Amino acid sequence: MPTQHRRGFETQRETVAGRSLPVEGEIPEWLSGRYVQNGPGQFEVGETALRHWFDPLAMLRGFRIRDGEVAYTNRFVRSRDFEFAREYGRVRTPFPGTPAQRPVWRRLWQALTGEFPDNPIIGVARIGGELAAVTESPVALTIDPETLETTGRIDLTAGVDADLTLGHPHYDPRREALVNLGVSYGRKTTFTLFRRDGAGVETTIRLPFDDAPYVHSFALTDRYAVLPAMPFGLDLPSLLAGAVTGRTFLDAFERFDRDGEFVVVDRETGSVVARPRVDPFFVYHHANAFPDGDELVVDLVAYPDERAVTDLTLSNLRRASPSVPQGDLRRYRLPLDGSRATGETLREGHVEFPVVDYPRRLGEPYDHVYVAETADKSSLPTRLAKVSVPDGGAATWTEDGAFPGEPMFVRAPDATADDEGVVLSLVLDAEADRSFLLVLDAATFGELARAPLPHRLPYGFHGQFYADGDPVRSMA
């Protein structure tokens, strides 16, 4: 049915703790650990319907997998935004598409002092040994990995000259450090590349821009970091005026009159190696990057323009025939002599949520990337694909009425092949009005098992699998 995808944009208030799930099929005995995913949970605040897909209050979904069994827990993240919404029925800080419901003087104070939302809806990460829910914010909220209860706050800008940090930090296994970008808004927008480890924080470089490009994620190799400075981002005066007028991030998002560019930074020297120009595109997520002779190869999901942001309003996504931006899996070659970058399409979209064997293949050539694809008139993915690179051929999994989430590759112990392991995905079964955890054989892409949940969950965003005894994250 053409409107089944709407179920992915409906609030779920029911929470459960440690519930054992029935398992249909057989989960490999070696698969032992925790899979935790983040995403929307509540789409309304009081009587106000939230407007954009990035606005809803965050809900964690957790799966404890051991000995072929699965225990399930879900819980709202108790952010200050969440507590204010529950107590007053109003929006505390300006969300991407929904203005703060505060007095004008308070909204202006928020704009001038940089009081950002703390509703961590994007994903999860281990920071300083603690599990935390993260988003594009100055703070992360720490989480008990067993109960998913919110336990505290981490200042992500501590030691970094930045207003906020990105929600997609990288884990560098060689240096045992998190690598991320901080963002500062002022007369110039500045991105700060830094790394955080047990010894503290080290800034690599600060990169100023005359405009305010929006960067959601970046690429990393052992030697280089690659920032995609595309001509799509914020009109900062309009955003500041929105404190009075009620205009939001979404209203202030625009296209700049310039070319796109990649900024290639040497991670050891902190110098800019190259700034190759490129035809404009918009990007949320990178698959991988690696050196190839005198070039860097960067694989990502590319959209034509800013509609990748502005079309993600909930009113549009809930339509029977939504206007959904098409993202293609693209490969760009970045000459380190600074000449123009070139690109080719590896697989036509709609494609999203690219995941590789991370961090083992981070910054190295690789054979497969796992993605979610939209195959028909839907605002949610309708199949999973294991895409061979660079030829773009794919094995797929699909089921009528099912909307699979981000594919999570988990490598088998002592694996020798790139695809030796499983792929996990949290799937919305709209016909049954419930969700289930799907386990696929990563090599054959055949179904091994599924574990039905007691209810339907809204469609989620990003997660991590942390294996017992080796709790290294499984994606950027």
CA distances to 67, 78, 185, 426 from 447, in Å = 18, 35, 47, 13
Handedness of CA 86, 87, 91, 92 (dihedral sign): negative
What is the structure's pLDDT at 253?
95
- Backbone phi and psi for residue 85, each to the nearest 5 degrees, phi listed first: -65, -40
- Return the amino acid letter for 132: A
CA distances to 52, 117, 469 from 426, in Å = 22, 26, 24
Domain-embedded: residue 138: yes
**By C-alpha distance, which of 420, 422, 412 is closest to 448?**
422
Q: Please state the domain count of the chain.
A: 1
What is the structure's pLDDT at 199?
86
Domain-embedded: residue 396: yes
Is the Cβ–Cβ distance between 408 and 35 less than 8 Å? yes
CATH at residue 185:
2.130.10.10
169 CB-near residues (< 8 Å, 6+ apart) = 125, 134, 178, 179, 180, 476
Handedness of CA 297, 300, 303, 305 (dihedral sign): negative
Cα–Cα distance, 224 to 269 (Å, whole number)? 10
Domain-embedded: residue 81: yes
Cα–Cα distance, 160 to 191 (Å, whole number)? 11
H or E stretch covering 95? none
Domain-embedded: residue 474: no
Q: What is the pTM of this model?
A: 0.96
Which residues face 34 on adjacent strands? Answer: 64, 466
Is the Cβ–Cβ distance between 218 and 226 less than 8 Å? yes
Cα–Cα distance, 347 to 330 (Å, whole number)? 7
72: three-class secondary structure by DSSP: strand
Domain-embedded: residue 473: no
Cα–Cα distance, 231 to 212 (Å, whole number)? 9
- Backbone phi and psi for residue 8, each to the nearest 5 degrees, phi listed first: -75, -5
Cα–Cα distance, 336 to 264 (Å, whole number)? 8
DSSP string spanning 356-387?
Answer: -STTTTTTS--SEEEEEE--SS-SS--EEEEE
Residue ranges for the chain with pLDDT beneath 50: 1
DSSP state of 37: E
DSSP state of 137: B
Domain-embedded: residue 413: yes
Is the Cβ–Cβ distance between 330 and 344 less than 8 Å? yes
What is the structure's pLDDT at 114?
74
pLDDT tens digit string along 278-323?
999 999 999 999 999 999 999 999 999 999 999 999 999 999 999 9
pLDDT tens digit string along 185-239?
988 999 999 999 988 999 999 999 999 999 999 999 999 999 999 999 999 888 8
Question: 191 lies in which domain range?
Answer: 4-467
DSSP state of 470: B
Is the Cβ–Cβ distance between 440 and 384 less than 8 Å? yes
DSSP string spanning 187-204?
Answer: SSEEEEEEEEETTEEEEE
Domain-embedded: residue 115: yes
Beta strands in 210-307 (DSSP E): 219-220, 224-229, 232-234, 253-255, 260-266, 272-274, 277-278, 282-292, 295-303
Cα–Cα distance, 47 to 355 (Å, whole number)? 37
Cα–Cα distance, 397 to 126 (Å, whole number)? 30
What is the structure's pLDDT at 68?
97
H or E stretch covering 325? none
Beta strands in 77-129 (DSSP E): 123-127
Domain-embedded: residue 161: yes
H helix count then E strand count, the chain:
5, 37
